[in-house]
């Protein structure tokens, strides 16, 4: 976000990050995870779209502005060597719902919100419990 201190500037005065900038923020989250999780997290693809597609919304029974992120894949706790993956495990981030939540909250930076959503979706990949998530993401507590 161009080096701006988002904690001191109202969200209304900031330029919304692009799809690529949100992806960069999410990749930085992957790289900062504790060593025990980092390598496996880096194997998960990150994809960013403005909104979830119709199939994703139907599968999650969500509205377009409700869904900030989605994990597509088989959790590590359920994988088998016999699984034939149809594609990479993927964390989807949805820019417009994230930006809406960011603007509505007004008490977090967009970087913090992207980190929170990314960690939540990676939790599905790792099969993490609520306690596991809380150890990494203070928002969960």
Domain boundaries, the chain: 17-72+87-140
Structure confidence at residue 34 (pLDDT): 86
What average pLDDT does the segment 47-71 reach? 96
Give the model's confidence band at 4: pLDDT under 50 very low, under 70 low, under 90 confident, else very high: very low
Average pLDDT, integer, range 7-11: 47
Find the mean pLDDT for residues 56-76. 92
Q: What is the mean pLDDT of residues 13-28?
A: 90
Residues β-bridged to residue 91: 46, 71
> Which structure tokens are listed for 45?
């693809």
Name the percent of the chain lying above pLDDT 90: 57
Q: Measure the CA–CA gap between 34 and 25, rounded to whole angstroms.
A: 17
pLDDT digits (tens, 9 = 90+) for 83-106: 666 778 999 999 999 999 999 998
pLDDT band at 138 (very low <50, low <70, confident <90, very high): low
Residue 2 has pLDDT above 60, yes or no: no
Residue 70, pLDDT score: 95
CATH 3.10.20.30, applies to 17-72+87-140: no
pLDDT given at position 31: 93
pLDDT greater than 50 at residue 3: no
pLDDT recorded at residue 134: 74
DSSP string, 122-133: HHHHHT--HHHH
Tell me the whole-structure pTM to 2 decimals. Answer: 0.81
């Amino acid at each position: 976000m161009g080096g701006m201190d988002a904690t001191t500037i109202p969200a209304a005065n900031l330029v919304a990050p692009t799809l690529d900038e949100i992806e960069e923020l999410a990749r930085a989250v992957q790289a900062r995870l504790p060593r025990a999780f980092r390598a496996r997290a880096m194997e998960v693809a990150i994809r960013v779209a403005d909104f979830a597609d119709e199939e994703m919304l139907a599968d999650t029974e969500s509205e377009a502005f409700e869904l900030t992120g989605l994990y597509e894949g088989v959790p590590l706790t359920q994988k088998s060597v016999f699984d034939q993956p149809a594609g990479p495990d993927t964390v989807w981030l949805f820019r417009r719902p994230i930006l809406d939540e960011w603007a509505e909250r007004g008490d977090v930076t967009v970087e913090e919100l992207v980190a929170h959503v990314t960690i939540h979706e990676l939790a599905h990949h790792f099969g993490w419990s609520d306690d596991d998530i809380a150890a990494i993401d203070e928002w969960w507590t």
